[in-house]
Each structure stands twice: as structure tokens, then as C-alpha cells.
Amino acid sequence: MAKVVSLEGKRKAPSLEPLLALCADDMARVDREILHRMRSPVTLIPELANHLVGAGGKRLRPLLTVAAARLCGYAADDDRHVKLATCVEFIHSATLLHDDVVDVSVLRRGRPTANSVWGDKASVLVGDFLFTRSFELMVDVGSLDILGVLSRASSTIAEGEVLQLVTQRDISTPEATYLEVIKAKTAKLFAAAAEVGAIVAGRNGPERVALESFGMNLGIAFQLVDDALDYAGREAALGKTVGDDFREGKITLPVILSFLRGGAVDRAFWRRTIEKLDQRDGDLLQAQILIERNNALTDTFERARHYGAMARDAMGLFGDSPLKSALLEAVDFAIDRAH
Amino acid sequence: MAKVVSLEGKRKAPSLEPLLALCADDMARVDREILHRMRSPVTLIPELANHLVGAGGKRLRPLLTVAAARLCGYAADDDRHVKLATCVEFIHSATLLHDDVVDVSVLRRGRPTANSVWGDKASVLVGDFLFTRSFELMVDVGSLDILGVLSRASSTIAEGEVLQLVTQRDISTPEATYLEVIKAKTAKLFAAAAEVGAIVAGRNGPERVALESFGMNLGIAFQLVDDALDYAGREAALGKTVGDDFREGKITLPVILSFLRGGAVDRAFWRRTIEKLDQRDGDLLQAQILIERNNALTDTFERARHYGAMARDAMGLFGDSPLKSALLEAVDFAIDRAH
């Protein structure tokens, strides 16, 4: 499968490091704000929240917010951009907590999920707490414009989660519906994260539109690659496990394309394993073979590159700078990570 | 048990009807706004939400918002008070959906719960949708002051739910902790509902403080009575079932007082039934007998009357009017309902 993920002649694997280095001070403040805002006299709340939030994910979404703000010249001597980045991470964390309950997941980033340690009830309620805390943070920042962006994004995520639930295990889900789901549940928050960075920096014109578009397209590319990696057979990289989506009967693009392009025997296989969730030993390998045979993985990465290209182009109006380069490299990283 | 709930010489049972009649036009608009805001292309959302929201509860919280606004002379030719009332009902509905999942409830108001019809996953996610939709409504209204009140209230509710979860089945929960829980999970939203009515009417001084206090004390009284009625043995009234809290091992004031005042045998009974949830036929009746013997029900109603009196006194600064009388009668109704 290595050929589908070739680096196309590039010398060095793209990395998130330049962006992380340029935003290190801001992100350290975001870390402190996260810890501060998780506090509660009800000790289960910081305990459970810290298990997830402190687990050291990439913090890609808050990183987008502070980077967008700085790219737009944010230089205020306050912490509004830090609060917004924290807010974005809390919205994301809340949805992860609820997702893991809904998906009955036991592992996330190689560690036990909060629901598997503290139970579904605690995860639902602490998720609610993080959701509401995120709104307190937005209100603190005090911009109705920003509140509009983030409240609409939150609502879209929730709508997307329900849409995903109702399309679950429906093998005839069209690609367009799949795209709606990943836009709503992933890309919309990337878009909002970048957009509010522009707004807090006072750039409400083309920069705001550009960053919203950058975030949206980056988010779509990111999720497409995530969904591809679930079948890519390279467990080691990123600590990502392979086959989770398959075992849950999740409808992702590799499966959709493989089903559409396959013959009667292939389709029967997908109906049994995904729709009926009747899975046997060797089925995951068989799924990977069918996906490979139908170029479904290659083309999922291809689709990701398309959105990645749009993300890059959206940045055209910004002048050259190390930060802009780092953001563009982050797009390449989102697509070429794990290779 | 009738003597503990006597009407103390009053001629007529207090009713919510006068308040409902005075606010009928506004509440009809709230009904329409609720239906409008539940819409989504994802049909499961309005379907599930309508099952709960359309089930015809008392709509006490949105009623408080429109009544408070009108009492404060709200006369604007717009629908901000209607949006806020809808917002308050959505916050309440979202917490009910999540509560029923957390409590594994199968019946609410005598009908199957949403989770028992559509499953836990759908209830969690549609709850999230209603939560986020409520924030969109607040943002629509456009007052940062109101956003602050409602986002803090939401966060407090979530914190209260977690606190309730961790104290669940701990028979040595002190009354003070119980009071914190019901303030956070019930009374805070009553308080916010009334307070935002004052704010939207432009009354940010003593009227706002008074209405916040009115709502808070009414909410505490309301929840105390709710918790008492669960042991009051009168199933017919209000369609409320008896014994739900007992069966779930919920720590409410009748149980706390009964445990504190009881001897060793009583305490062993509570430890077995509530802490270990080891319940047998006849245990509910035995619980009711112990509660009666220790005056725990009488005194729970007594506590409710105390908070009811504070709610009434908070209204002292408003001049006499049919609306004020109706709000005071609503306090009496909250305490004397079902008798």
C-alpha cells in the first residue's frame, strides 16, 4: 500500500513542528487556561476531564485559533485568543466524551476512554460540563460575532453527530452524505477555530473569509485521511489503531467507494460485515484487500489532496511569513502524516 | 399522610391557571418558536425532541421568563422574551434527555422516555443539539449580560448533575450537599429564567435581583416538593409515579432526614435499600412508614414552605397587579400541588 502514500518526490516529511514552535508561548498559555477552567469543587470533573484533555493530543484546533490570530496581527496585551483556543478545545473534548459513549469505545489514543474508566453517565455529564464551560469562555471574550460563529459551529456538530448516527451501517450512504457528516462533525469546528482567530484580531474582511475556508478545507482533508488511515494497515504511526471504524460498522469513504465500485460478491461482503455487523476472523484483512483492489484508499487520499489544495489556496492573500509557511506545512502534514 | 399537606385553612387550592391565562399569548408564541427551532433536515432531531418537548409539560421555566419580562413592563414589539423563554425550555429539555439516559429511566410523565424509544445514543446527541440550539437562541437575542447569566446557569446545572452522580446512593450525604445539588440542577435555571426576563425588559437594578431570588427560592421549593411527592403515596395527582427515587437509590431530603433521625435498625434498612440497592417487595412501603414516623415528609414540606416564603418576600418591591398575584399563587401551587 506504500505507493498510494508516496511522498511524491518531497525530500522531507511535512511536520507540525514549525507551527508548534512558532505558537509555543501561546499554546503554553492555552494549557494553563485549560487546567484552570476544568477546575471544580466536584473533583470527578477535573479528574475525568484531565484524563482526556491532559492526554496530550495534538491540540490542532486551538493551535489553529492562536495561529490565525497571530497571522492576522493579533498583538493585544490580553488573553482573548487564549480563551477562544481553550473554548475550541473544550467543545472538541465534549464531543469526544459523548462520541466515545455513543460508539461504546474503550480505547482512544491508545489509552482507556473516560467512559471505560468512569462509566457512561460520568462521561455524558462531564461532557455537558465542558460544553457549557466553553460557552462561559466565549461569553467572557465578549464578542457577539464570535459567539455567533462558535454557537453555530457547536450546533452543527451536534446535528452532524445525529446525522452520523442515523446513517450508521447504511452501506448505501452516498458520498455527498458522508461529506456532509464530516463537514458538520469535524471540519466546521476547524473552520470556526480559524475564523475566530481572525475576528479576535479585528480582521473581519477577506482574512476572516480566507481563514474560515482554510479551516474548513483542512478539516475535511484531515478527516478523510483519518478515515483512510483506519484501513491503512500501519498501526505503529501516531498510535492509531487500525480497523476501529470497520468493527463499528462506520460508513467512511474507503467503504463507500469500495461498495460502489465492487461487484455482487464484494457488495455482499460489505452488507454482511458493515450493515449486519456479522464479522469473522480475517474480515478486516479482506476489507483491506477489497479497498485496495478498488483504489478506494488511493482515491480517498486523492480527495484529501483536493481539499488540501483548496486550503492552501485560501491562504493566498496573506503575505509570506514563517507563520504562513508553517500553516501550509500543517496542511501537508494532515495529508501525509503517518507515512 | 393528609395532615402534613393540609391547606392550612385556605378555601381554594392554589393554581397555575391565573399565570397561564395572563401569559397565554406569549406562551403560544413560545410554543411556535419551540417547534420552529427544533427543525432540522436530520428528521430524527425534531422527531425525538418533539416526543419530549411536545409532551405537554407545565413549561414552568419559560413561563417564568415571559411573566418576569411582563412584570418588568416589557413592551417591545419584538420576540426577544419569546426567544429567551424558548432557550430556557431547551436547556431544561436537554438536561432531561441526558438525565433519563444517566438514570436509565423508562417513563417520564407517564410516557416512555426518548431513550427507551430511540436509544441512549440518540438521546445524548439530540440533547447536545438542544443545548447548542439554546446557545444560538441566546446569541440571537444579543445581550452579553443575558449570555453570561444563561451560560453560567448551564454550567452550574452540568456541575450539579455530576455532583448528584457522585453523591448517588451515599446515604450519609449531608442536607447541605443535597441543597447544593438541587440549587445547581433545578433552582439555578428557575433563577436564570426569571432574571433574564428582568434584563430583557431593561430592569437591571433591584427588580433583576428580586426576580433572580424569586426564581431561585421557587426552584428550591419546587424540587423539595417534587422529592417529597416521590414518597407521598398519591400516584393519581399530576401523573407522577411514586417510588422512582427510592428504586434508583436517589438521595433526597426525606431519606436524609429519615436516616439521620432513625435508630440502628432504620439505618440498616436505608443502607441496604439505598446504598446497596438491595430492595425487596414491601420495601417502598417500609420506606414510607419510616419517613412518616420520623416526620421526614412533613419537614421536607416545611423546608419548602420556608423557601416559598422567601420567594414571596422577594416580590415585595413590585406594586400590586394581577400578574404579581398570579406569580405569588404559582409559589403556593408549587408547594401545595397534588393535594
Nearest to B129 among A148, A152, A162 (CB): A162
User: Which grid coordinates are listed for B293?
Assistant: 414516623
Phi/psi of residue A289, nearest 5 degrees = -65, -45
Candidates A99, A98, A32; CA nearest to A59 is A32
Q: Read off the pLDDT of each residue in B290-306 and give the average, rounded to a whole number.
A: 94
Q: Which of residues 134-173 of B touch A (CB under 8 A)?
A: 135-136, 138-139, 142, 144, 147-148, 151-152, 154-155, 157-159, 161-163, 165-166
Each residue's pLDDT tens digit, A233-263: 655 444 557 888 899 899 999 999 999 999 9
Q: Which of B121, B130, B167 to mutate to test binding with chain A, by most A CBs within 10 Å of its CB? A: B121
Establish how many alpha carbons lie within 13 A of residue B251's alpha carbon, considering only the half-sphere containing its beta carbon. 28
Hey, which CATH number is domain B17-336, 3.40.50.1440, 1.20.120.160, 2.102.10.10, 1.10.600.10? 1.10.600.10
C-alpha–C-alpha distance, residues B232 and B292, integer Å: 9
H or E element at residue A127: helix A120-141
Q: Look up the ipTM and state it.
A: 0.82
Please list the alpha-helical segments (H only) found in chain B: 17-22, 24-38, 44-53, 60-71, 80-102, 114-118, 120-141, 144-167, 175-182, 188-200, 206-229, 244-248, 253-261, 264-270, 283-293, 296-314, 322-336
A95 min Cα distance to partner chain B (Å): 9
Judge: A133–B155 Cβ closer than 8 Å, yes or no: yes
Q: Is the pLDDT of residue B283 over 90?
A: yes
Q: Is the pLDDT of residue B10 over 80?
A: no
A139 min Cα distance to partner chain B (Å): 6
Each residue's pLDDT tens digit, A260-299: 999 999 999 999 999 999 999 999 999 999 999 999 999 9
Please list the alpha-helical segments (H only) found in A39-119: 44-53, 60-71, 80-102, 114-118
Residue B252: strand, helix, or coil: coil
pLDDT band at B2 (very low <50, low <70, confident <90, very high): very low
Enumerate long-range contacts of B259-266, CB under 8 Å, 24 or more apart.
Answer: B259/B171, B259/B172, B261/B294, B261/B295, B261/B296, B262/B290, B262/B294, B266/B290, B266/B294
C-alpha–C-alpha distance, residues A287 and B289, integer Å: 63
Each residue's pLDDT tens digit, B20-69: 999 999 999 999 999 999 999 999 999 988 888 777 678 999 999 999 99
Domain boundaries, chain B: 17-336
At B326, the amino acid letter reads A
Q: How far apart, in Å, are the Cα atoms of B289 and each of A68, A135, A285, B5, B231? A: 65, 46, 63, 16, 10
User: Which grid coordinates are listed for A31?
Assistant: 494549557
Per-residue confidence (pLDDT) for residue B86, from 0 to 100: 97
pTM: 0.87
Phi/psi of residue A324, nearest 5 degrees = -60, -45
Residue B28 has a CB neighbour count (10 Å cut-off) of 11
Q: Read off the pLDDT of each residue in A81-86 and give the average, rounded to a whole number.
A: 98
C-alpha–C-alpha distance, residues A65 and A61, integer Å: 7
User: Which grid coordinates are listed for A134?
Assistant: 466553553
C-alpha–C-alpha distance, residues B105 and A105, integer Å: 23
Task: Count interface pairs A-B at CB distance under 8 A.
Answer: 128
C-alpha–C-alpha distance, residues A312 and A179, integer Å: 20
- Residues from chain A that touch B124, judged by Cβ atoms under 8 A, are 98, 101-102, 124
Is residue B70 within 8 Å of residue B25, measured between CB atoms?
A: no
C-alpha–C-alpha distance, residues A269 and A306, integer Å: 30
C-alpha–C-alpha distance, residues A185 and A175, integer Å: 15
**Region of residue A249 (phi > 0: left; psi between -120 and 50: alpha; otherwise: beta):** left
Residue of chain B minimizing CA distance to A177: B42
Out of A16-20, A153-157, B104-108, pick the least confident.
B104-108
Q: Does A120 touch chain B (CB under 8 A)?
A: yes
Each residue's pLDDT tens digit, B116-150: 999 999 999 999 999 999 999 999 999 999 999 99
In this structure, is the dihedral angle defined by the CA atoms of residues B329, B334, B338 and B339, taken in order, positive or negative?
Answer: negative
